[in-house]
Every structure is written in structure tokens, then in C-alpha cells.
Amino acid sequence: MWSEIAISGGFKGLPGRQIRTVHVSDMDFSPIEAARYLHSSASYLCSQPVRHRYGCARRRPVRLGPRRIKTHFRLRSFEMFQKASMLLRPLAQLIRDMAPGGSRTSLLLFMTMVLCHAQSAGAQSGSGPLPIGSTAPEFRLKGTDGIAHSSGDWKKNPVFVVAFLCNHCTESQRYEARLNQLVQGYANKGVSVVAIQSSNPNAFSDNDLAWSDVGESLADMKERATFRKFSFPYLYDGDTGMTAKAFGATVAPSVYVFDKDRKLRYSGRIDSDPANGPEDKHEAADAIDALLTDKPVPIATTTPSGCPLRLGADTAIRKKDDAGAVTVALAPADVLSSLRHNPTGKLLLINFYATWCGPCITEFPDLMATNRMYRDRPFSFTTVSSNVPAEQPEVLKFLIKMHATTRNLLYGSDDIYAMQEAFDPNIGSAVPITVLLGPQGELLFHQQGEIDLMEIRRAILANLPDEPGHEGSQQYWSTK
């Protein structure tokens, strides 16, 4: 996805000439920025030495406005067409403002907006999938490696594969390893593979991330790419989703395979079975093999399945704090002992903290977000303050500030060591302490000191059972 703006102009008696060309990526393109660019370009034209030939040096009023400015937009999507049309009013105003001394400049403004092939433009505007035989849409996107990657970076490769993934979706997660295998299997054959995350990260609530350790931001993508050792570039398109729209991508995971001329030869699912069973049909790999041997692709299109992409700024949601009641109850020794045996019948996360403990306060918001992520699954969270009972008002004030609608306990005795021993004498007494208990009270995770957020979330996910529509999740998170 890109836009090219070319500006040409000249004075009376001076042949017109192109003075500037700019390529503007979707990430940076805005009507105001483009209008400013056009203004600076026209000003540049008026400031050239040729002005002396026409009287500027003689300090008398002359018509210095450009006889003609021609702007040419080469557009690759309907959205870019709409953006370009928004330039008309600010551009006209800026050109009027350029006329020195209020002189009336005779000006002809030509704006030609050319859409590429109508069929491709329709597909790239998000109206449908990219047709087989279409040219690969161009893009320039930042990757998890910190580098901006362009589609032209791989122009010499005989086969170009573009996959759309996301972090939160179980099915997309299961295909990460398979995409790594695809890269490794074709590494010596010149096949290039890139993955793109196009969903707006602000379109997801914490509850939407119930099957993930992270969200969909670029920072989250870096975390996933590092954790799963991606061997392919992982690019971020979440601010606009324009690249996904250009491809007609609506679901993650999905894949697009292009030949050496960058014509689309296959689009759809990576293969037929997320579980990678014996009957799995590897349509994407079959398409790659066919292209490498100059044979027809056996199956050109399939229907991908997974999670819908949430594209564009208008998909953003307003995140709300929990509105439930916040309470804190004194917990005597017997309550703490019962807590250790996990009376919930669910996975139970317990965090021991104190309001005077810096690391405890720092990690508390992340723990609250973790609770919001998994609380609709067989998961429960209890906080236990090691403050003394007399500090209950202070503890409650802190919990209200944190919107902690969880079960909240406070040591019922000033003897904090006796309280901690009543829970479990083997987990220590210096807060923060975080433990994860299984439904039968088995100790699954124990960390003393500030938590590793990713480690605790992955431990939770590895111990939560699969549910319909999310088969394979526990295995994915149990695999290191």
C-alpha cells in the first residue's frame, strides 16, 4: 500500500518541470501532512533563481504564483482515493495563500487520481478477496525486529508467501510452528515468507485475550516472536489494517502465495487440519512446490478458518474499569489454611502483597489485568495483604484504586509470620509472593519476588483445559 505524489509547475515562458516526487506510506499519510508537503514544494518552485528573470530583483509586484501545479496520485485502494479527495480543500486554500502581496494569480489546478486496475482496486478496498492472478499489493510495515520492511525487499525470490496471523487466536497460535517449519523447509529454495498482524490492538478488551499471554500491539508481537522463535519477519499493520484490506484478508491465520512475477497463485488456509493429523492436506505447500517446478497450482483457493481480523481505528473499544464492589476481609489462620487447599475447584492464583512494598504495588495492575483476561475460564484470583489488621482502611483504599473486584483478604493477626506459616511454611514470608494452585490444591507455580508476568500467564494457560472452539490450546501453552 502506498501513494505517490508528483508535483510539476513552471512560470510563464518557462517550460513546466517536475520538481518533487514523494512516496507516502499509509502509516504516515494524512491530508494535513500531504497539503503541507505540496505547499513547501510550490514555495520551492517560486524561490528558484529563475524568478530574477521575471522581475523579483527589481522589487516590483510581479505574478510569481506558479502557472500550473500538477499533482498526480497513484492510488492502490479506495481508502487512499478517499484520503486524496480530502486534500482538495486544504490544497486550494494553501495555493491561494501562496500568492504574494494579495496578487491574483492565474492558476490552473489539475488533480488526476488514477486507480490501478478496477478489479484489483475493488478487491484491495476490502470489498472481497484478492482475485487469483492479481499483482501482490505493495506495503511498507515495521517488523518486530525494529526494521521497516517493504514488499520489494523480496522481489528476487521465486515465491513470495504472505501470512496473516494474530497473537490472541488459538488457531493462529497453532500455526506459528507450522509456519516456522515452512520457512525452514524451503530455506534453500528461495521461498520468502512474511507474516502480518493487522488487527487494531485497541479493539480487544482484556476478556478477549482469554487464550493468550499478550495482546496485538507491536510490543506484544515482539514478545510472541521472541517466545516462539519466529524465523520469519513479523510485521505490524494494526494502526490502519490497510495492508490486510489490500489483500482482502479477513481471518487469521490465512496465507497468500505469489509467483516470481508477483501474481497471486494461491490464497486461503495453510492446510486443512489445525491438529496436523494424518489426513491433513497441505494446500499452501503444494502451491509452493508447483510454482518452484513451473507447474500449475493444483488448488488455487481454499477457505481459511480462525479469528476475524478487527481492522481500522473505528474498531477500537473503550475499556472500562470493573464496576463491582471492592471489599477486604480479615483472614485468620484457619481461612489461610483452607485457602492453601484451594476450595474453588478452579485454577487459583494467589498474590501476597503489602501496601508498603514497592514491587508489590508495581506488579498489582498487571495481576488485575491477568485476572480480567482469564476469569471467564475455570480460573480464580485471590489477593492477600500482609499488612496488619489495623491498616485495613489503607488496604481497602488501595484495592479500590486498583479496581480489585477479586476476593481480597488481609492477615487477621499482627503476627505476619504465623499467618504465612498457616498458609504454607515452605513458600517464604517476604512479599511479594505469587502462587498458582491446581483444582486439588497442587502447587503449580511459586515465585517469591516481583513476578515475571509472561511466565505466570503462560503457567496459567498451560494448566487451563481446552474448551470447544479452542482445541489444542493447552498443548500449545504446555510446549516450550
Position 154: which residue type? W
Position with higher pLDDT, 153 vs 116: 153
- pLDDT of 135 > 60? The answer is yes
Q: What is the pLDDT of residue 127?
A: 53
Q: What is the mean pLDDT of the chain?
A: 81
Asked if residue 128 has pLDDT above 50, the reply is yes
Note the pLDDT tens digit of each residue in 295-347. Answer: 999 999 999 999 999 999 999 998 888 888 999 999 999 999 999 999 999 99
364 C-beta neighbours (distance < 10 Å), count: 21
- Contacts of 152-157 with C-beta under 8 Å, sequence gap 24+, read 154/192, 154/194, 155/262, 157/190, 157/191, 157/192, 157/260
Give pLDDT, residue 62: 30
Taking the CA atoms of residue 149, residue 155, residue 158 and residue 160 in that order, the dihedral angle to the nearest 10 degrees is 30
On whether the CB atoms of residues 319 and 400 are closer than 8 A, the answer is no
User: What Rg, from alpha-carbon coordinates, does the chain have?
Assistant: 30
pLDDT band at 34 (very low <50, low <70, confident <90, very high): very low
In the predicted model, is pLDDT for residue 126 greater than 80?
no
* pLDDT, tens digit, 9 for 90 and up, residues 176-233: 999 999 999 999 999 999 999 999 999 999 999 999 999 999 999 999 999 999 999 9
- Residue bearing the bigger pLDDT, 240 or 91: 240
Longest dimension (CA), the chain: 98
Please tell me the predicted confidence (pLDDT) of residue 111.
Answer: 36
Tens digits of residue pLDDT in 361-419: 999 999 999 999 999 999 999 999 999 999 999 999 999 999 999 999 999 999 999 99
Q: What is the mean pLDDT of residues 446-474?
A: 96
pLDDT at residue number 276: 86
CB atoms within 10 A of CB 46: 17
**Average pLDDT in the 280-292 region?**
96
Separation in Å, CA 109 to CA 7, 94, 192: 11, 12, 44
Mean pLDDT on 446-462:
97
> What percentage of the chain carries pLDDT values higher than 70?
74
Choose the weakest-confidence range: 87-101, 111-125, 187-201, 353-367: 111-125
Q: Greater confidence, 104 or 348?
A: 348
The grid coordinates of residue 449 equal 519476588
Residue 10's pLDDT is 39
Instruction: Please report, rounded to a whole number, the percentage of residues in the chain having pLDDT higher than 90.
Output: 70
